[in-house]
A and B are shown apart, each in its own frame.
Chain A
């Protein structure tokens, strides 16, 4: 087994839903994963902007998921994807439309593709894959709900504290500009909040 397969197996085994009953299904999935793609920091990842329904596993590094914000001059951060995560182009996978989001490397990254056609093939042979898929979407929903609660907090420092408590791995990696976008405040607003409270990010 190569290191990509091992990394994905470890990922699946760490999911709350995982039991030994998933072993054969996970084996089929890890056998189908492709070679690593490496990108340097600051690049737009072309592979991810093309229309595809594939599943992607970020093995190492961080990716910024960006979108065109019609109410701001610059494109905005939608999410910061940490290592050891699976992510998709939602427009393509869910709505069969061209991706509206694009991805920029926030550090050097390594990621792996799991093709949608392999997902469909394995799903037809091993219906337990659907349970893994559902647990993945459930996890995303849960995270989005929690983040929405944070985005409704009226105090900027309460939002910062939420990131610190709930997503410490992101907090440690984000610069202030990225943190401001992640919590839905302007950069100036974040700076003012830090200065007023005499507290700083780290």
Chain B
């Protein structure tokens, strides 16, 4: 359980993604927002790991998280989650299969979480649970599409511009090393692109 102020942050986050159709839905979301638990965590804290693990829906109260995908002998930062956004492994939460990705905090962060079981089975009216699940699928699909837009840009500067247009405070929330990884650029190319923006 959380204090009123904190649960209000989560309610606000839920209302930002969930279009209310009936009054009872608002009430249900309010109940749901009170079920989240809060954790203050250090940089490098793992929200979920590869494999079936930690089937939670997370809300980033402060800080930022990065989602990594392993390939060959390396891994890449494929998505990041910033303050006031929901984070989840769609593999685990939606498709109930082992997660291909892992997610860690990139900075000291405050993370709220709720287990899938509470989210879908116990707390919520079935209609609200099903609608929320469907919204999370759409959210995830749209985020992947937006990330693809960024990565389709053929120059480092355009990639950086595209990423900033999606997340205006990007440069303040992601360390440069992770940003270079996220954009698929060498650190030298990232710094050249940043220079063109007047940031170094």
User: How many chain A residues touch the partner (CB < 8 A)?
Assistant: 32
Instruction: Return chain B residues, CB-CB under 8 Å to A186.
Output: 154-155
CB closest residue in chain B, given A71: B158
Residues of A within 8 Å of B101, CB to CB, are: 145
Is A152 touching B184 in the complex (CB atoms < 8 A)? yes
Question: Do B138 and A141 touch (CB < 8 A)?
Answer: no
Partner of A141, one of B144, B152, B161: B144
Expressed in whole angstroms, the Cα–Cα distance for A70 and B154 within the complex equals 13
A67–B165 Cα gap in the complex (Å)?
16
The distance from the CB of A107 to the nearest CB of chain B, in whole angstroms, is 22
Q: How many angstroms between the C-alpha atoms of A154 and B189 in the bound complex?
A: 11
Does any Cβ of A come within 8 Å of B170's Cβ? no
Name which residue of chain A comes closest to B96, CB basis.
A134
Q: How many A-B residue pairs have CB under 8 A?
A: 88
- Cβ contact within 8 Å between B152 and A151: yes
Interface string of A122-153 (1 = CB under 8 A from B): 00000000000010011011101101110111
CB of A102 to closest CB in B, whole Å: 15
Residues of A within 8 A of B145 (CB): 78, 90, 144
Q: Which of A58-100 contact B (CB under 8 A)?
A: 67, 69-72, 76-78, 90, 94-95
| Least CB separation from A77: chain B residue | B152
Q: Is A15 an interface residue (CB 8 A)?
A: no
- Residue positions of A touching B, CB distance < 8 A: 67, 69-72, 76-78, 90, 94-95, 134, 137-138, 140-142, 144-145, 147-149, 151-154, 180-181, 184-186, 189
